[in-house]
Structure 1
Amino acid sequence: MAMNDETPSITDLPESGEADLNKRMRVYLFIMAIRVAAFLLVLVVPGWWKVLPAVVAVFSSWFAVIIANAAGMFSGRSSKSERPMKEIS
């Protein structure tokens, strides 16, 4: 029986639920701050340039949810679990 050359490490474990939630909330709040800034820019930008911040303001809530929920996918941590190769007696 061949042994796995990689030794599982505690750092291979997925983030805790609380840490994942905090990360997603920070990403969501950051994008919502951009949305508020875009709404304010609509009030001060003249002419047809108002369209750009208006589009950002309208679609940023959808992007915020999508990006915040995907934030945990790019953490680089493995979510798989491995069975030990043999029992410790």
Structure 2
Amino acid sequence: MFTENIEVEVVRDEYLPYPDVIFTCHPFDLQSRLIIRQPSLLVEVLSDSSEKKDRGFKWLQYKTMPSLLYYLLVDQYVTSVELFSRVENTDVSEL
């Protein structure tokens, strides 16, 4: 688990966001301290300034990653979490 200053390589050498929390089990990722390439869970804590990007552009990019099984959005103002999960390693659906 990583919680800060770690990039996720979504598009090779092009798009490297910093999610709030990253979980990975991939051996290469566990050795890296700078870039995660095979995350299984990404968590974003929503704020007024980040919610639109976290739900929109970032989500569109994240769901193209084959390794990503779960995307969790946590609302810091309301008691609410949204979990998106990959179904049979193909589509992504909201739980």
Q: What TM-score range do you get, normalising by the shorter chain?
A: under 0.3
Which one has a larger percent strand, Structure 1 or Structure 2?
2
Q: TM-score, normalised by structure 1?
A: 0.22
Which one has a larger percent helix, Structure 1 or Structure 2?
1
Q: Which one has a bigger Cα radius of gyration?
A: 1
